[in-house]
Structure 1
Amino acid sequence: MKLRKVTAASATALALALAVTACGGDKDSDSGSGGGSKIKIGIKYDQPGLGLKQPDGSFSGFDVDVATYVAKELGYQPDQIEWVETKSADRENALARGDVKFITATYSITDERKQKVDFAGPYLLAHQDLLVKTGSDISQGTDLNGKKLCSVTGSTSAQNVQKTIAPKANLREYSGYSECIAGLQSGAVDAVTTDDSILAGFAAQDKYKGQFKLAGLKLSNENYGIGVKKGDTATEDKINKALEKMVSDGSWQKAVDANFGPANYKNEPAPKIGQIVQ
């Protein structure tokens, strides 16, 4: 009788162990392409040319192309990537919680952010700029005095322009850049300001091709990095090596041309890993 009880208990324990193992097989893993593992990557869903979720559920943009290349170098095929929307305000928390392995989402490297996360890269040097209509006579910041300048609510970009070069610019704050671009098209505003890469992504959309141009003012330096969880130096090192390879084999420039080319985006050369332009 005693032997049967032990056997039954052992059988129960074995069944539980098998169940736990089976459940664990669905979790994310760093093993790469083996065993159907997945990797979660944070991107933006609403930035054309950078990170955009298409109506069919697919994703496109420069950040998506960079992340896909990096993931492949880490051992993951495109069908093993799970894209996770990470809005600007939640990027640090998403990494700290382990919601994603890394984030490629117009994530500018700053001293403040480096207190909370680590960065690989940078992989793109962007600048604050202006987007205007192709036939506009606005070619420098001072031309904005008396003109309507649009940016999103809470952004510092428009205030930066007003404080430094065009104190008489009339600010218009909308909830999203899509609204600013629509306002520029209709004539409700005269210029839109944010990072040139973001502006170029919008301008490169088929419905806007040829309608807008970048002023090329370079009002700030934005060093885009790939965010990883604080202390995850192993992943940071692997991503840096992947970025170096992406530049050296020509894939980086192809991604720039494909996503920003239609807007005649004058991109900076690929930045050196660890080199932050102030």
Structure 2
Amino acid sequence: MVEVRRRPTAGVLAAALLAGATACGIADADENSLRSRDRLVIGVNADQPGLGERTADGSYRGFDVDVGKDIARRLGVPGGNVTFKRVTSATRETMIQNGDVDLVVASYSVTPERKVKVAFAGPYYVAHQDVLVRDSDARTIRDVHDLRGRRLCRVPGSVSFPRVHDELGVAALPVEADGYTGCLDALTSGRLDAVSTDDLILGGLAAKAAGSGPKLRIVNAPFTDEPYGVGVRRGDVGGCEAVNKAITEMYQDGTAQRLLRKWFAPVGLAFTTTVPQFEGCV
């Protein structure tokens, strides 16, 4: 019997092409995902003692830096293949979008405005905005409302000053600084009256100032929740979920609690040691 070879119909060809394109798209997406990388560039702050600070030898240290290292390890990336790069409050989104960094661990509060530009894994911690003052002013500045008419540090790109001035309507007087180390210098030298931002940042600043200037005090009157997320490229759902898995494991095996004690127990901050509620990788 003669075998008759039939040509594939147009519908079959279209289906095959679609399947091939879909498989290629999935492969391309996976190749670009965090979960398939053997090297990572992590964006961190360079001017936040206790969280992310660049040292004299060019290395980085702090809670966020340690969290970044631990996430990379759990993603299967060797320590020697992890590079840290400085980001600022004003450059984080752009550096993620441009591919200058693969992820950002930099006291990066999750906000609706930021979620339009980047995706967030986590949060890996929920901080609270508070106020740092010189000990000599602690009797007259007891909460955020006492900042009316006071000189308050403002860092470009940070949401901390707008939360006080715009959202709460407290008429504080802005004093510009490039970063929170600049805020600390201005506070200890008397050029401003207070710094208001996340309590972990304030704890790091207070620890840095201890023994080298006027005593500083955290007011301990928190007025916001600040979920610290890991910034990743929008669309990398698989990579985001892999980071969430790493954060969960970090809390389950006690690593997160150990790092929090390491960096913030010495300044007397009461920190949370349970896994935060995740935002969702969308």
Output the CA distance in 2 between the equivalents of 1:116 and 1:160. 20
Does 2:142 match 1:151?
Answer: no
| Separation in 2, partners of 1:184, 1:95 | 32
Residues 53 and 62 in structure 2, CA contact (< 8 A), matched pair in contact too: yes
Distance in 2 between the 1:204 and 1:270 partners? 24
C-alpha distance in structure 1 between counterparts of 2:116 and 2:238, whole Å: 18
The normalised TM-score by structure 1 is 0.77
Would you say 1:226 and 2:230 are equivalent positions? yes
* 1:111 paired to 2:115: no
DSSP-derived class of the 1:40 partner: strand
Instruction: Please tell me the root mean square deviation across aligned C-alpha atoms, in Å.
Output: 2.7
Deviates more, 1:209-218 or 1:224-233: 209-218
1:215 has 2:219 as partner: yes
Per the alignment, do residues 116 and 140 of structure 1 end up closer, same or farther by CA in structure 2, a change over 3 Å counting?
closer
Do structure 1's residue 255 and structure 2's residue 259 form an aligned pair?
Answer: yes
Question: 1:75-86 to 2 correspondence within 5 Å?
Answer: 75-86=76-87
1:126 counterpart residue number: 127
Matched residue type, 1:241: K
Q: Is the 8 A contact 1:149 1:193 kept in 2?
A: yes
Q: Of the candidates 182, 185, 190, which is equivalent to residue 182 of structure 1?
A: 185
Matched, 1:205 2:208: yes
CA distance in 2, matches of 1:94, 1:82: 14
SS at the partner of 2:91? helix
Q: Distance in 2 between matches of 1:139 and 1:94?
A: 38
Structure 1 residue 86: deviation in Å? 2.2
Q: Secondary structure at the match of 2:53?
A: strand
- Give the secondary-structure state (helix, strand or coil) at the position aligned to 2:278: coil
In structure 1, what residue type is equivalent to 2:197?
A: T
**Hey, what's the Cα distance between the residues in 2 that align with 1:87 and 1:246?**
25
State, as a whole percentage, how many aligned pairs show the same letter.
39
Conservation of the 8 A alpha-carbon contact between 1:125 and 1:271: no
The correspondence of residues 1-278 of structure 1 with structure 2, limited to 5 A, is 37-135=38-136, 136-137=138-139, 138-152=141-155, 155-162=158-165, 164=168, 166-167=170-171, 169-205=172-208, 207=210, 211-274=215-278
Task: Indicate conservation of the 8 Å contact 1:49/1:200, yes or no.
Answer: yes
Task: Report the Cα distance in structure 2 between the residues aligned to 1:88 and 1:223, rounded to whole angstroms.
Answer: 15
* Aligned AA (2:100): D
Q: Shift of the alpha carbon at 1:271?
A: 4.2
Following superposition, the deviation at residue 77 of structure 1 comes to 2.5
Unaligned segments of structure 1, at least 5 residues: 1-27
1:143-195 Cα offsets, whole Å, 9 max, x none, are: 3345433333565534543463744x444333432232223223333321122
The answer to whether the 8 A contact 2:41-2:82 is kept is: yes
Name the residue aligned to 2:27: none
Partner of 1:25: none
Question: Distance between the aligned counterparts of 2:248 and 2:186, measured in 1?
Answer: 39
Q: 1:206 & 1:144 partners in 2: Cα distance? A: 21
Q: Which amino acid in 1 is paired with 2:153? A: C
| C-alpha distance after superposition, 1:8-61 (max 9, x if no partner) | xxxxxxxxxxxxxxxxxxxx99666xxxx4221111122111111111122111
Give the letter for the 2:262 counterpart.
A
Asked if the contact 1:46–1:52 (Cα under 8 Å) also holds between the matched residues in 2, the reply is yes
- In structure 1, distance between residues paired with 2:257 and 2:83: 25
| 3-state secondary structure, aligned to 1:52 | strand
Following the alignment from structure 1 to structure 2, what is the Cα–Cα distance between the partners of residues 97 and 158? 27
Q: CA separation of 1:236/1:200 partners in 2, compared to 1, >3 Å: closer, same or farther? A: same
Task: Return closer, same or farther for 1:152/1:76 CA change in 2, 3 Å cut-off.
Answer: same
Do the aligned partners of residues 141 and 100 (structure 1) sit closer, same or farther apart at CA in structure 2, a change above 3 Å counting? closer
Structure 1 residue ranges (4+ consecutive) displaced by more than 6 angstroms after TM superposition = none
The range that moved more, 100-109 or 179-188, is 179-188
| Per-residue deviation, 1:62 | 0.9
CA distance in 1, matches of 2:148, 2:90: 31
SS of the residue aligned with 1:88? coil
